[in-house]
Structure 1
Amino acid sequence: MMTLAPARQAPATAPGLIPPAAATPRAVAQASGFYRHDLDGLRGIAIALVAVFHVWFGRVSGGVDVFLVLSGFFFGGRLLRGALTPGVRLRPVPEVTRLVRRLLPALVVVLAAAAVLTVLIQPETRWETFADQSLASLGYYQNWELARSASDYLRAGEAVSPLQHIWSMSVQGQFYISFLVLILLSAFLFRRVLGRHMRVAFVVLLVALTVASFVYAIVAHNTDQATAYYSSFARAWELLLGALVGALVPHVRCPMWLRTAAAVVALAAILSCGALIDGVKEFPGPWALVPVGATVLFILSAANRHADPHTRGRLPAPNRLLASAPFLTLGSMAYSLYLWHWPLLIFYLAYTGRSGVNFLEGAAVLLVSALLAWLTMRYVEEPLRTRSAPVAPATVASRPAVARRSRLRRPTIVLGFVVALLGVALTATSFSWREHVTVLRENGEELAGLSARDYPGARALVDNARVPKLPMRPTVLEAEDDIPQTTIDGCISDFENASVINCTYGDENASRTIALAGGSHAEHWITALDKLGRLHHFKVVTYLKMGCPLTTAERPLVMGNNREYPRCREWNKRVMPKLIADKPDYVFTTSTRPWNIKPGDVMPSSYLGIWEQLSENDIPILAMRDTPWLVRDGEPFFPADCLAGGGDATSCGIERSEVLSDHNPTLDYVAEFPLLHPLDMSNAVCRPYHCRAVEGNVLLYHDSHHISSTYMRTMTQELGRQIAAITGWWPA
């Protein structure tokens, strides 16, 4: 979430566009009148907002959007002005080289430090995620990695990553390369075909792309806001708008009073954005126009001030304030400060086990972040991104000076080598750990054949089976992949898919049918139902969608993060007519949910309409009480993480009263719905007063609320008893 280009708007003769031989970028910029100290200060304001809102308020401030616009303005505007200037030849290789020198060194240093802290502080169950996101950060596709995680229901409750903030830098890196290619191709075509009309063609093209991206952002925001938040396509309009402003700003004329008013309004909007708008839920939709529009307005407030002889060299008062030394200093270290503050905050929270910081703790995090940011800027960023000015042909008298300059460059070469070595080591280590985990999981394929005597699981609770002293299975590293076969087979609709997917398990040739319908909490019972179906000759047909129970809710929410889920409503409208038309012998689905406002569980009122429809069509319901959702301090709790961090089966569990009411809420509706048959496996999951993380040598959960397939197999016998008592299909 960072402006990744230097905070200097250079004219068409900036580096990469064949500058005059003896001119430096800053000298050329200042001579041309385009050097904007106030925008350096605006970067400082933006990073301060981002850090403060992250540390103390847990909100999005709008500072990210300020950075995106400034990135487009600095980088895109400069390239666009160069392309529109006759006789200027674009050179992509120097541009890419400059970007690499500017972006990678500080990023590599922070990633390396984060890798060390991950090993020291976080459980090994989190190392794979860090390895994935470290590679994604180095490859500048972190935003897509996070979008994939956000759309993956099985990963939706993962702990916040210490590298999550790098998503916006990935968006900007992708923009830089894409915009550079676009400008090169367009300049080649437009100059040959359109000649003097090239400027209009460029502007029309970029306006069209900006509008298209903005429309896409609105549509994507309404469809799946969590995924759209990280989408490069939904964010491109902010950068493109900055590029357009960067190309057109030299032609803007306005009086001083109007520029002052614009600067005041823009700053007020930027400063208040985080407090007034919940950016986590509202961006990148229409509300993103507030920080984006305010940034554009602030840029225009000091546009082409040299054109007016009465205000030559003058800036509006707000702009002069941001051009002062404190803001310039903060702006100069903005990139490094952004890189450091988030991982330090996340690692501190992981170390303390808390979900937030108080004022003093937050101040300490910011102070350490600022110190590390200054050191990184001073001793990593500046040496590696600054080149010596070109040297005139050496004379005999000047050769000693050249030799001295060469010697002075040696520390920089060493520094560059060390940073490159860190990057290679980080990449190799990430790949190696991923391969290690892959091998462990491949070795975990025998989980389905574990000895019932050695790994009794749920039978230790319901049948008092003897539990030998053996290592827990699945292990903490195997747990993540210990998932239902339906997920592996693609037999559950994902978040974006509203179609009904049917797959058949159990005895596929049987005449008796149980329809397994609902969300993933219905799905994880497939492991036991499949085994029972093959044993007692009935088939199980699936009607499943991630995070979506059978419900009549008009605005269903994703359980766990409470974001709206319109595709769930659409899927329910499709699945109910199909279920009724298929008329299975029984519909197996969940009948309860955990309370969001107090301990225990509840039967949601939106389920009653489902029971009515099924009952009216004489379809009996096997209503399974939902399994406990593990939550601490309002956040999903992962037993595997706790166990990997040194916890035990008891400390990594939860009190039964926190997750289950004294009695099954479904029982209150049996008299009203005679075809409603409650199933309750709570005593196969929890002890009388506590729900432990491990029972009978088997880990119960593969995440924070889905039963592992290995443990589900150990519940088959008890589930069979309850179903047999209802159906009479075999002796109970």
Structure 2
Amino acid sequence: MLTVTPTPASAVSERKSGFYRHDLDGLRGIAIALVAVFHVWFGRVSGGVDVFLVLSGFFFGGSLLRTALHPQASLSPWPEILRLVRRLLPALVVVLAAGAVLTILVQPQTRWETFADQSLASLGYFQNWELSATASDYLRAGEAVSPLQHAWSMSVQGQFYLAMLALIFGFACLARRRLGARLRVTLVALLAVLAVASFSFAAVLHVSNQTAAYYNSFARAWELLLGTLVGAVVPYVRWPMWLRTVLATAGLVTIVTCGTFIDGVREFPGPWALVPVGATALMILAAANRQASPSTQHRLPLPSRLLSTRPLITLGAMAYSLYLWHWPLLIFWLAYSDASRAGFVDGAAILAISGGLAYLTMRFVEEPLRSGRRSAASVTTQPVTIAWRTRLRRPTIALGTAVALLGVALTATSFTWREHVTVQRANGKELVTLSTDSYPGARALTQHARVPKLPMRPTVLEASNDLPESTNDGCISDFDNTDVINCTYGDKLAAKTIALAGGSHAEHWITALDALAKLHHFKVVTYLKMGCPLTTEESPLVMGDNRPYPNCHEWNEKVMAKLIADRPSFVFTTSTRPWNIKPGDVMPSTYIGVWQTLSDNNIPILAMRDTPWLVRNGAPFFPTDCLAKGGDAVSCGIGRSEVLSDRNQTLDFLPIFPLMRVLDLSDAVCRADVCRAVEGNVLIYHDSHHISATYMRTLIPELGRQLGAATAWW
């Protein structure tokens, strides 16, 4: 009978490349602990992900370099790709499948499509681009935080792995014989140029669009490339022990404290990311020793020896699974408890459960499939028979098959749900023909119309597509575009013109304005940009998350010049905004300069009071989510005093600007005490703060009454 014995400790430490860096496994453990703790209890970015990126570049990029520089090594990418698949996909599939089950149990149906989209993006390793597109899409920018949001970093790494495979192996294949000994210097120089280019790109994009930079693969590439470059110089580092100890201590302290002093969400991957990235590079170099061996572990700096302790090594081995598990569990708990942040007890429970699931995933999913054995301990130093080898492989094959089938089922389910939602939204085409008797909407408030008992329209699944025509027509500049886009609605041959100018809260009135313009023979020309009202603000911010929005200022300068040149009969724009810092709404002082400029050029203003923005616990609140969970029109609404002040402050400026006319449809959206989610069987909002096109059609009579009085056109 064959006896299976564990590998001696010394054998575990020695790899093809020499002495194995257990201290870096421990550093992984520190990094994942920081990531999880800061996410769960502090709602901040710790810099731990940046540590992971550098270490990934060091291990993977360094391995590719060593292979490419070996004159006899195979340059086929398929073995590396197979190892990546076996290393990364099984745990990801398991967590995504668990997340799908929890989504169905915990999240409203309105969130299922987002999870399906992001599951596919995570499996395809383009989740960072999916999140970047979502952040740039004003109609989705306020969505609740996704339980898969953390998968962006894995997508960046996956893309980096494939790009490095193609670059290093491809370059070596073409130039290994030609360059000979110069191949190392050439490859390192090429990677250094790419790292500098990536860092420069990140620094520039960070200023103009920090959110895009955060998820951009090339803006993150310098962190991984730096790890690869550090790996290239490690064999040549020979520093005295005192210097290595100082550097290792400084690096470890910097990594541990980084998240306390730097807001990574807003500062990474710009120049401030050099702090955790540089500290990680110091940790790698400080313990580098060309003559190292398992018997010289005591020659490592003290911080590196501390990182090499078994608890931290084990935590480092669990890092990937723990990273996968902790974030979804946190988000699902917050969704279930309707809390904005975890407390000490529930946060500790989330971390404990995440740790347990991470260990089980590592032990029974990652290790067997990565090593091709039942577990990491099932190794032997003796020859084995074919029969025994077959017996060892059977559980692995069964496990691999189960994981593959789970991945197929998850993919099929995601596509199926997306198709279901598409079919449901196709029914939304009939919303334009809803009977006003059955669906009076705003008329229930303004005309006290009778409201029969009928299902709400649009439904919670139809709502996100119940948009103004200008959005579907591409007649609003997105976050990145500073051009002024003009589209014409209403009676396009009319001489009288209303310029609809500002952000999306001006835009959603186009549905009613278009109908009135056709009826009363005037045209409506759009001057719109996402999240950007007419303002003189020098450093505007995106409403809701306070991101810097320099493109808004540039666009405002262009649009004001064009409005003056075009000289419309009236400029229709919003005149108030939410307070944010206290209940009610306010007239921003930065609007006054716009009104002054228009008045100086004898252009009358239609100043529309902004519709309420729904916020709970400091975050956008979606009535559709609430209704999908079983809430009603009142419980899914908001108190009027929370979103509207007693007086419209725009009225105070009428004596100063006699050409200004004030429009206020607050009483057509809110009751005296509450702004409900549904009025007259019609859903008011299609998200957290934009009026649905269906409800806007029910506002036509009241807007027509006020607009006729303001313009004297009818």
Which residue is 2:196 aligned to? 211
1:242 aligns with 2:230: no
What amino acid sits opposite 2:277 in the alignment?
A: V
Which residue is 1:620 aligned to? 604
1:602 aligns with 2:583: no
Return closer, same or farther for 1:307/1:468 CA change in 2, 3 Å cut-off: closer
Q: How does 1:715-730 map to 2 (within 5 A)?
A: 715-730=699-714
Does structure 2 retain, via aligned residues, the 8 Å contact 1:190–1:201? no
1:548 aligns with 2:532: yes
Task: Identify which of 248, 251, 261 aligns with 1:263.
Answer: 248
Which residue is 1:202 aligned to? 187
Question: For the residues of structure 2 that align with 1:27 and 1:83, how far apart are their CA atoms?
Answer: 24
Which residue is 1:74 aligned to? 59
Number of positions where the alignment pairs a residue of Structure 1 with one of Structure 2: 701
Question: For the residues of structure 1 that align with 2:231 and 2:11, how far apart are their CA atoms?
Answer: 17
Question: For the residues of structure 2 that align with 1:24 and 1:129, how far apart are their CA atoms?
Answer: 47
Which residue is 2:210 aligned to? 225
Return closer, same or farther for 1:233/1:31 CA change in 2, 3 Å cut-off: closer
Question: For the residues of structure 2 that align with 1:707 and 1:45, how far apart are their CA atoms?
Answer: 47
Which residue is 1:36 aligned to? 21
Question: For the residues of structure 2 that align with 1:48 and 1:560, how far apart are their CA atoms?
Answer: 30
Task: Identify which of 83, 105, 123 aligns with 1:138.
Answer: 123
Greater mean deviation of Cα atoms: 247-256 or 710-719: 247-256
Task: Identify which of 489, 492, 495 aligns with 1:508.
Answer: 492
1:534 aligns with 2:513: no
SS in 1 for 2:35: helix
Question: For the residues of structure 2 that align with 1:707 and 1:281, how far apart are their CA atoms?
Answer: 30
Which residue is 1:472 aligned to? 456
Which residue is 1:109 aligned to? 94
Task: Identify which of 645, 651, 657 aligns with 1:661.
Answer: 645
Task: Identify which of 468, 476, 481 aligns with 1:497.
Answer: 481
Does structure 2 retain, via aligned residues, the 8 Å contact 1:71–1:239? yes
What amino acid sits opposite 2:453 in the alignment?
A: K
Question: For the residues of structure 1 that align with 2:569 and 2:107, how far apart are their CA atoms?
Answer: 48
Does structure 1 retain, via aligned residues, the 8 Å contact 2:30–2:312? yes
Question: For the residues of structure 1 that align with 2:354 and 2:390, how far apart are their CA atoms?
Answer: 34
What amino acid sits opposite 1:634 in the alignment?
A: G
Question: For the residues of structure 2 that align with 1:491 and 1:353, how far apart are their CA atoms?
Answer: 37
Task: Identify which of 287, 294, 298 aligns with 2:279.
Answer: 294
Which residue is 2:3 aligned to? none
SS in 1 for 2:631: coil
Task: Identify which of 363, 369, 372 aligns with 1:378.
Answer: 363
Which residue is 1:586 aligned to? 570
Which residue is 2:103 aligned to? 118
What amino acid sits opposite 1:597 in the alignment?
A: I
Q: How does 1:355-394 map to 2 (within 5 A)?
A: 355-387=340-372
Question: For the residues of structure 2 that align with 1:27 and 1:624, how far apart are their CA atoms?
Answer: 71
SS in 2 for 1:194: helix
Question: For the residues of structure 2 that align with 1:617 and 1:337, how far apart are their CA atoms?
Answer: 62
Question: For the residues of structure 2 that align with 1:346 and 1:526, how far apart are their CA atoms?
Answer: 36
Deviation at 1:85, TM superposition (A): 2.4
SS in 2 for 1:253: coil
CA RMSD, Structure 1 to Structure 2 (Å): 1.9
Deviation at 1:321, TM superposition (A): 0.4
Which residue is 1:611 aligned to? 595
Which residue is 1:639 aligned to? 623
Deviation at 1:23, TM superposition (A): 14
Cα displacement string for residues 277-298 of structure 1 (whole angstroms, at most 9, x for unaligned residues):
0000000100000000000000
Return closer, same or farther for 1:48/1:519 CA change in 2, 3 Å cut-off: same
Does structure 1 retain, via aligned residues, the 8 Å contact 2:297–2:305? no
Question: For the residues of structure 1 that align with 2:126 and 2:143, how far apart are their CA atoms?
Answer: 19
- Unmatched tracts of structure 2, length 5 or more: 1-6, 375-381
Which residue is 2:687 aligned to? 703
Q: TM-score of the superposition, structure 1-length normalised?
A: 0.94
Question: For the residues of structure 2 that align with 1:493 and 1:521, how far apart are their CA atoms?
Answer: 13
Deviation at 1:398, TM superposition (A): 7.4
Q: How does 1:395-414 map to 2 (within 5 A)?
A: 401-414=385-398
Does structure 1 retain, via aligned residues, the 8 Å contact 2:19–2:293? no
Question: For the residues of structure 2 that align with 1:691 and 1:568, how far apart are their CA atoms?
Answer: 30
Does structure 1 retain, via aligned residues, the 8 Å contact 2:139–2:687? yes
Does structure 1 retain, via aligned residues, the 8 Å contact 2:202–2:269? yes
Deviation at 1:307, TM superposition (A): 6.3
Deviation at 1:28, TM superposition (A): 8.3
- Percent identity between matched residues is 72
Which residue is 2:379 aligned to? none
Deviation at 1:310, TM superposition (A): 12
1:446 aligns with 2:426: no
Question: For the residues of structure 2 that align with 1:251 and 1:282, how far apart are their CA atoms?
Answer: 33
Question: For the residues of structure 1 that align with 2:431 and 2:661, how far apart are their CA atoms?
Answer: 32
Question: For the residues of structure 2 that align with 1:584 and 1:32, how far apart are their CA atoms?
Answer: 73
What amino acid sits opposite 1:102 in the alignment?
A: R
Which residue is 2:509 aligned to? 525
Task: Identify which of 477, 482, 486 aligns with 2:466.
Answer: 482
What amino acid sits opposite 1:224 in the alignment?
A: N
Deviation at 1:498, TM superposition (A): 0.4
Which residue is 1:163 aligned to? 148
Question: For the residues of structure 1 that align with 2:429 and 2:616, how far apart are their CA atoms?
Answer: 31
Question: For the residues of structure 2 that align with 1:27 and 1:341, how far apart are their CA atoms?
Answer: 29
